[in-house]
Amino acid sequence: MMAPDLSVALGALILPNPLIAASGCFGYGVEYEQVVDLASLGGVVSKGLFMNERQGHPPPRIVETPAGMINAIGLQGIGVHRFVSEKLPLLRKAGARTIVNVCGTTLDEYVEVCKVLSDAEGVSAIELNISCPNIKEGGIQFGCSLAGTYDVVSAVRKATQLPVIPKLTPNVTDVASFARAAEDAGADAVSLVNTFLAMAIDVETRRPSISNVLGGLSGPAIRPIAVRMVWECYQLVKIPVIGIGGITNARDAIEFMIAGATAVQIGTQNFVDPFVWSKVLDGLTDYLQRHNIAKLADLIGTFDPTPPKPVHA
Amino acid sequence: MYHTRLMPPVDIDATVIANARLSRDYSVLSLAAPEVGRRTRPGQFVMVKPLGVTDPLLRRPFSVFEVLRAESGDVTGVSILNKRAGRSTRKLYELEPGDVVSCLGPLGVPFTAVQTPTEAWMVAGGVGLAPFATLAETLAASKTPTTLFYGARTADELFYLDFFERRGVRLVLATEDGGRGANGRITAPLEAALKTMRPAGTMVYACGPEPMLEAVARLAARYHQPSQVSVERVMGCGLGGCYSCVIPVKRTGAKALGRDGDDLSSGAHRANEEHANLVRSCISGPVFDGAELVWP
């Protein structure tokens, strides 16, 4: 049997495989060149970028929880101009398909950052961060209101020719309605989910485990909720859905794709195992061969809701 | 100063060769990871976790303690000095030969070794002994006069003294209960030594709790000696991906060293110096110039 075709299409953007490094979990990508061939990934999403540099929150910034972690990094970053001049040339040279995660404290800032990126060479798409739970101003304020989501996506849509992919928060009652608002505003795809707002307390001191008190929960602990949300969005919108949430191996990635994801992002597992990428790719190929499927894209949304047969112990 | 090219890290499913319990809390975990050992330079670290465990989810950083060798001289692996403190370190303490752990490394900026006539003074607090076994071997190879200032809670927690003595390292000890060596903290004998130092000068290396590192860096500066300190912060990935393990450095210091400019703010912020330059201790460190760090 021929090697199966792992390529997927996010609108006009064709990726050689569906594995994308999630924002905030892969630095600016260049940090990982020493362990991963960046061109072998479907794509790399940069750390979230504002117009200017940001310091982020004081440490401690992360705490581990069962099968997961809570983070409040606070979007420490170098700003879009330094990213374009210092990182983008290296990513281009490495053959990475670079998706830039764009943040803003105001609608204008989103638009301005996207304009800078539109003029730069080597940006494949824009992921709009309207879902970071860890900063007070901007971001999630847009992502938690249908009108705010519509407004920021349509403003950015008018400002750039690049594919626009809003990243949705799970901290809403009905995430699919937000995917619909993004689609109506002209988004090319949606990615979900960002982290779940969470907190952990040091019971010995009764103080917070991280300096920001609240943070975002990620890792295998959130995967079943993320799978459910991807399935809900897949049923409601026509644009591609990128699945994110606790993927650790090929089985997990396949679960998201069956639920309707066209591509998937891996974040927290990259911290645990920076060599995860080739393992998942091998696992995808193995699965397709076992199931005699020639094209991975044929798997998307093939979920069969027929109840399972009773299992007898 | 840091221009020697480092080898990229590898990830090994490493079999436990031995787990020698030194005390109720400390063990030396020896891992069959020759490729990690061959690449390691003194002061670098590995990220370790038991295989297939999702709680705790992340690896833990450990300085490479020893580079292990067979009688032939071939490198067979690395060991780490483990102190039981949390869930991960408790699990590691309980491992038996034949168990398997994931071992990613080597990672981070190593120590820069000085050479005679400059002396090397290594200041260790508790589990902060870890990076000095490999550094002592490097210093012994160049016949650089080396002293280990080593402080612990009790005499029972002063480990591997014969290891250092065999390599010609002079020992200065302190215990918090006065059971062996000076009574109290190791910084007291360190300061006494700095007062009577020879003119060739010394490089002060330090690893231990952050208050100790601060005290050592300040002492070295007061007596006009350079220092290199190895820090430990809550770390997520070890490769610069997550921005968890950041530590504040002075703008001027970091720029002079030309390291990891990514993290450095341009000065456009109104922020105070403490937060202005938060750099990732995994890739900008764990070894820093003691004069470069901003202490709380």
Residue-wise DSSP of B94-140: T--TT-EEEEEEEESBPPPPP-TTSEEEEEEEGGGGTTHHHHHHHHH
Q: Which of A31, A52, A274 sits opposite B283 (nearest CB)?
A: A31
The pLDDT value given to residue B271 = 39
**Cβ proximity of A194 and A142 under 8 Å:** no
Q: N- to C-terminal Cα distance for chain A? A: 37
What percentage of chain B has pLDDT greater than the value 90?
A: 80
Per-residue pLDDT averaged across B13-30, rounded?
A: 97
Q: Can you read off the two tokens belonging to residue B268?
A: 């456009």
Domain end call among B44, B75, B107:
B107
Whose tokens are 């590192």? That residue is B213
CB contact set of A136 (below 8 Å; sequence gap of 6+): none
Q: Can you read off the two tokens belonging to residue A202?
A: 């040091």
CB contact set of A21 (below 8 Å; sequence gap of 6+): A29, A32, A41, A43, A44, A45, A265, A266, A267, A270
B162 and B224 inside one domain: yes
The pLDDT value given to residue A137 = 66
Residue B164 lies in a domain: yes
CB contact set of B277 (below 8 Å; sequence gap of 6+): B248, B249, B250, B251, B254, B263, B264, B265, B294
Nearest-Cα distance to chain A for B261, in Å, is 10
Rg (CA), chain A: 19
* Alpha helix segments (H runs only) across A119-264: 140-143, 146-159, 175-184, 223-236, 250-259
Taking only the tens place, the pLDDT of each residue in A55-107 is 899 999 999 999 999 999 999 999 999 999 999 999 999 999 999 999 999 99
B60 and B79 inside one domain: yes
**Cβ proximity of B76 and B13 under 8 Å:** no
CA atoms within 13 A on the CB side of B193: 26
Q: Which of B57, B233, B237 sits opposite A67 (nearest CB)?
A: B57
| Residue B258 structural domain | 233-296
Domain end call among B84, B107, B130:
B107
CATH code of residue B131: 3.40.50.80
Chain B residues close to A34, C-beta within 8 Å: 8-9
Per-residue pLDDT averaged across B250-276, rounded?
A: 46
CA distance linking residue A44 with residue A21, whole number of Å? 5
To the nearest 10°, report the CA torsion of A31, A135, A203, B233: 30
- In CATH, the number for domain A8-299 is 3.20.20.70
CA distance linking residue A290 with residue A302, whole number of Å? 16
Q: How many CB atoms lie within 10 A of CB A212?
A: 22
CB pair distance less than 8 Å for B247 and A59: yes
- Of the pLDDT bands very low, low, confident and very high (cuts 50, 70, 90), residue B129 is very high
CB pair distance less than 8 Å for B58 and A66: no
Q: Which of these ranges, A10-19, A89-98, B164-173, B198-207, has the smallest mean pLDDT?
A: B198-207
CB pair distance less than 8 Å for A28 and B262: yes
Taking only the tens place, the pLDDT of each residue in A38-47 is 999 999 999 9
Residue A310 pLDDT greater than 90, yes or no: no
B96 and B20 inside one domain: yes
Residue B2 lies in a domain: no
B253 and B150 inside one domain: no
* Alpha helix segments (H runs only) across A55-184: 80-82, 88-93, 107-118, 140-143, 146-159, 175-184
Residue B4 lies in a domain: no
User: Could you tell me if B179 lies within 8 Å of chain A, comparing CB atoms?
Assistant: no
CA distance linking residue B292 with residue B158, whole number of Å? 30
Domain end call among B173, B202, B230:
B230
- Of the pLDDT bands very low, low, confident and very high (cuts 50, 70, 90), residue B256 is very low
**Cβ proximity of B113 and B144 under 8 Å:** yes
pTM exceeding 0.90: yes
A233 is catalytic: no
Nearest to B77 by CA among B159, B12, B136: B12
Q: Is B285 helix (H, G, I), strand (E, B) or coil?
A: coil
Q: Which of A25, A103, A114, A132 is catalytic?
A: A132
CA distance linking residue A54 with residue A47, whole number of Å? 12
- Of the pLDDT bands very low, low, confident and very high (cuts 50, 70, 90), residue B109 is very high
**Cβ proximity of A85 and A117 under 8 Å:** no
B86 and B138 inside one domain: no
B221 and B123 inside one domain: yes
User: Could you tell me if B266 lies within 8 Å of chain A, comparing CB atoms?
Assistant: yes
CA distance linking residue B192 with residue B35, whole number of Å? 42
B143 and B194 inside one domain: yes
B225 and B237 inside one domain: no
Q: Is A262 helix (H, G, I), strand (E, B) or coil?
A: strand
Instruction: Estimate to the nearest angstrom the gap between the alpha carbon of B120 and the chain centroid.
Output: 15
Helix (H) or strand (E) holding A128: strand A123-129
Interface test with chain B among A272, A277, A278, by most B beta carbons within 10 Å:
A272
Number of domains observed in the structure of chain B = 3
Per-residue pLDDT averaged across B57-67, rounded?
A: 97
Burial class (CB in 10 A: 0-12, 13-18, 19+), B134: buried
**What is the length of chain B?**
296
CA atoms within 13 A on the CB side of B218: 11
Residue B268 pLDDT greater than 50, yes or no: no
Residue ranges with strand state E in chain B:
10-21, 26-32, 45-50, 60-63, 66-69, 75-83, 100-107, 119-125, 146-152, 170-175, 182-183, 202-207, 227-230, 246-248, 278-280, 287-289
Residue B274 pLDDT greater than 60, yes or no: no
Nearest Cα residue in chain A from B61:
A272
Burial class (CB in 10 A: 0-12, 13-18, 19+), A66: exposed
**Residues A35-44, buried b or exposed e (16+ Cβ, 10 A)?**
bbebeebbbb
Residue B247 lies in a domain: yes
Nearest Cα residue in chain B from A219:
B57
Taking only the tens place, the pLDDT of each residue in A8-35 is 999 999 999 999 999 999 999 999 999 9
Nearest-Cα distance to chain A for B164, in Å, is 34
Domain boundaries, chain A: 8-299
B170 and B136 inside one domain: yes
Nearest-Cα distance to chain A for B47, in Å, is 9
Q: Is A206 helix (H, G, I), strand (E, B) or coil?
A: coil
Residue B275 lies in a domain: yes
Nearest to B41 by CA among B67, B20, B59: B67
Residue B114 lies in a domain: no
**Cβ proximity of B249 and B284 under 8 Å:** yes
B270 and B287 inside one domain: yes
User: Could you tell me if A83 lies within 8 Å of chain B, comparing CB atoms?
Assistant: no
Interface test with chain A among B239, B263, B280, by most A beta carbons within 10 Å:
B239
CB pair distance less than 8 Å for B240 and A25: no
Chain B residues close to A62, C-beta within 8 Å: 234, 236, 242, 244
